[in-house]
């Protein structure tokens, strides 16, 4: 064989060997880069899942602390509204269709009802994100009924204190108070059902 052919074959052999080595090296680098990217994506996903898990645990912890408070508060508020309504109804029964005295309804104390309603309002402000829409709406309506009852009871007391004592004026206010209690009682049942279901899935 001629020197030229030998030289070409040697050059070809060297080039092929170098090319093979380069391909081998590039293949290893590419595999390592792909593996590194997969590992990075895996670690990122693992971190995201851990953060999500921690958030869910925190939400569950807050919810399990919140719902008993919500239930206790609405239970106390509903019972106080019922007690006040019963006192007002009793005064109406005792008075019958006679004129109410200036002392009528003055013994009805709404301070505890107002305190419980304010507690409920604060719970709504701090916990809206943890409440289901149904529970939040029922509690929100419950709170508004508490405001309305406070206003109507104060109106009732003011009327009789000013001598506006005719049953035709006073009795409709009492009926509004009674109807509002019925609505709050129904809202309590909604909250009780929703919270109990949420706590005991």
For residue 7, tell me if it sits in a domain. Answer: no
Looking up residue 105, the CATH number of its domain turns out to be: 1.20.120
For residue 111, tell me if it sits in a domain. Answer: yes
For residue 25, tell me if it sits in a domain. Answer: no
For residue 146, tell me if it sits in a domain. Answer: yes
For residue 87, tell me if it sits in a domain. Answer: yes
For residue 144, tell me if it sits in a domain. Answer: yes
For residue 46, tell me if it sits in a domain. Answer: no
Phi and psi at residue 100, to the nearest 5°: -75, 145
Residue 147 lies in domain: 62-199
Each residue's pLDDT tens digit, 150-198: 999 999 888 888 887 777 888 888 899 999 999 999 989 988 888 888 7
For residue 43, tell me if it sits in a domain. Answer: no
- Decide: 146 and 81 in contact? Cβ < 8 Å: yes
Q: Tell me what percent of the chain is helix, strand and coil, each rounded to the nearest 5.
A: 85, 0, 15
Each residue's pLDDT tens digit, 98-120: 666 766 777 788 899 999 999 99
- How many domains is the chain built from? 1
């Amino acid at each position: 064989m001629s020197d030229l052919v030998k030289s070409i074959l040697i050059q070809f052999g060297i080039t092929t060997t170098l090319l093979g080595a380069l391909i081998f090296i590039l293949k290893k680098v590419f595999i390592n880069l792909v593996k590194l990217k997969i590992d990075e994506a895996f670690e990122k996903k693992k971190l995201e899942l851990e953060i999500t898990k921690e958030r869910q645990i925190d939400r569950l912890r807050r919810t399990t602390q919140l719902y008993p408070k919500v239930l206790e508060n609405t239970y106390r508020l509903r019972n106080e509204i019922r007690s006040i309504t019963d006192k007002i109804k009793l005064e109406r029964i005792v008075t019958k269709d006679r004129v109410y005295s200036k002392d009528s309804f003055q013994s009805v104390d709404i301070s505890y009802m107002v305190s419980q309603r304010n507690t409920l309002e604060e719970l709504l402000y701090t916990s809206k994100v943890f409440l289901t829409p149904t529970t939040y709406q029922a509690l929100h309506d419950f709170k508004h009924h508490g405001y309305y009852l406070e206003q109507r009871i104060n109106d009732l007391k003011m009327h009789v204190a000013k001598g506006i004592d005719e049953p035709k004026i006073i009795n409709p206010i009492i009926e509004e108070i009674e109807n509002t209690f019925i609505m709050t009682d129904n809202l309590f049942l909604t909250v009780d059902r929703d919270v109990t279901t949420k706590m005991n899935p």
